[in-house]
Amino acid sequence: MAEVHIREALVGDCKDIFRMVKELAQFHKIEVIWSNEETIKQDGFGAHPTFKCIVAEVPPESKSADGHTLVALALYSYMYSTLRGPSVFLDSLYVDSEFRGKGIGKALLRKVCKMTLQEGCTFMRWFAVAWNKAATNFYLKEGAQDLTIKDDEHSFGFSQAAMEAMAEHSEKRLVTNVS
């Protein structure tokens, strides 16, 4: 049994982080992604980081068939709610297919929970596509709740185009009937 090191990512890990981000996108059949190695470097390790990342590292003798020793990641950012307090949004959880089912995904989730609780986060949320039953079953097994079912909430969003359309009509002053 090899020891797997679960640790915070370092700036030198950006190439591997981006590789795994791409592999996760491929898993989801997403062909075009916004990020690249440089945005990972800037946004995760620059002057004002907007995400954090935990990685799983195996010793060189246990490297993947492709020769990688970084074999999994959990990448997350923060949200704020006046009702519920600060929270964590899990953007990406990925374990290289060769290393699945060995407790690495669970170890990453545990580490994210430990670190963000220490920072004052009060809850954690994320999305899983409906067809990804393996991930859904994994999350449920680890004690997560399916909030779509539990809260009967719809998740809303603006695309960039919709944001631009809204922004175009943004006014400093609004003339309207408020009487």
Least distance from C-beta 135 to ligand COA, angstroms? 4
For residue 6, which amino acid is it?
A: I
Taking residue 107's Cβ as centre, other Cβ atoms within 10 Å add up to 18
Using CA atoms, how far apart are residues 66 and 174, in angstroms rounded to an integer? 58
Does the footprint of ligand COA cover residue 44 (CB under 6 A)? no
- Location of structure tokens 């590789």: 19
With respect to ligand COA, which residue has the nearer C-beta, 33 or 135? 135
Enzyme catalytic residues: 139
* Closest separation in Å from C-beta 1 to ligand COA: 14
Give the span between the Cα atoms of 74 and 127, in whole angstroms.
13
Q: Rule CB under 6 A: is residue 2 a binding residue for ligand COA?
A: no
Question: Counting beta carbons within 10 angstroms of the beta carbon of residue 172, is it exposed (0 to 12), middle (13 to 18) or buried (19 or more)?
Answer: exposed
Q: Which is nearer to ligand COA, 141 or 172 (CB)?
A: 141
Stretch of residues binding ligand COA (CB under 6 A), selected from 11-19, 132-140, 150-158, 168-176: 132-140
Q: What is the C-alpha separation between 24 and 71, in angstroms, rounded?
A: 12
**Which region among 1-9, 12-20, 128-136, 170-178 touches ligand COA (by CB under 6 A)?**
128-136
- For ligand COA, give the closer residue by CB, 28 or 165: 28
Nearer to ligand COA, 123 or 165 (CB): 123
8 A C-beta contact, residue 95 and residue 56: yes
Binding mask 86-125 for ligand COA (x = CB under 6 A): -------xxx----xxxxxxx-------------------
Laid out side by side, the sheet with 52-57 consists of 5-8, 52-57, 70-81, 85-95, 123-125
The CB-of-89 to ligand COA minimum distance in angstroms stands at: 12
